[in-house]
Structure 1
């Protein structure tokens, strides 16, 4: 593991009397590819929601580059350098493929409200820059020939690629992928496995993913954290995790007498 870019320090999330995540610690290096796995209801998505500002931890801290980002709104956390995708794809489905990418970069534009109202030279220059950047992202992801299509009309696998491309267009330091293989067939999952590796290497970012497809997790992740009932029960490389008795019990249960 390299120098940490993202850390969680004893983060806990309680909803009334229910503890969804308890004292969870995680450390991800600048170019690491890390997975979080666990049975349904284990608290995985709650962890993502605390990292990305959807929930503020009841206790503990989330650090990005050593800076405490706990309690910041999701938009500000994106600006700080964390982007995510969702298990249920959340595209702007009635916008074009190109506009989905263009919107991701709008928080970095170098013009103000008056420039946008009066359509100044700076406004047009910045909009042209955003468009050109978006087209480059679509070329990288093989979607440039569909830039004028509505996002909702893309096949499922291409919608997933577009969602990842849109997240990367925010130029993050850390990309969170929530169940990226959900709804995919084996061939699409194989392509996704290669895409995740390629994204990490191409953009030199850290990737944290939640996934139920164990083949994908074991193939792509260098470090794996296992949670059950909101608690960390194991962490290590793929081979360690596959052979860990606590992990086997969490997924398979104990033999009944």
Structure 2
């Protein structure tokens, strides 16, 4: 029998996160579900996770590149929270068994120095509120079977967020253009992909402005000290036990993660 209410859908995702047993896509049973339905489920799932004692330390934005938007069939990014329990420092080892089907993406991460709340936030406003940028990688994971996601499924599932690994060095944007930041990603010492900041919505700072305006429609602000993960600069890379990934960014330095 199809699950129809957001709370029950959220509980199914909550259980899948705990058991590492994926569930069927909601869009299989209800193909007409869309982005708003996904966020209704996401909100309920966040409530369940915060009730366990977790807390939101930032936000992630996904689907910021045109190829990914075409793949999912949308013309806009999506977003989800970054939870404290899912954040690791540079050089950390993450356990493969903590995930279902993890993939890794290198991203530019901004640290906010000022409060941002839409509507009406411009790229200039966003840049002024950013304290600096750090090197980061996101581990995306799906609680949906075999990554068979449509828009409602990934939005409901916290925008497919799994974990984040970030460097500790915050680089101010004073003379830095995030669009031009180059990145190389290696696995076990071998180059696997490259990218540049402009892959994220044309400008990673525009991602922050977009997010502030979308959240502002619901009375939510981006707060000082929070992070914004601005989206993958390349195609997501599958992870295997024993892998060592290193993402090196112009000006920002490098960040490393080991897969245990």
* Higher normalized helix content (fraction of residues): 1
TM-score after normalising by structure 1 = 0.25
TM-score after normalising by structure 2 = 0.25
Q: Which has the larger radius of gyration?
A: 1
* Higher normalized strand content (fraction of residues): 2
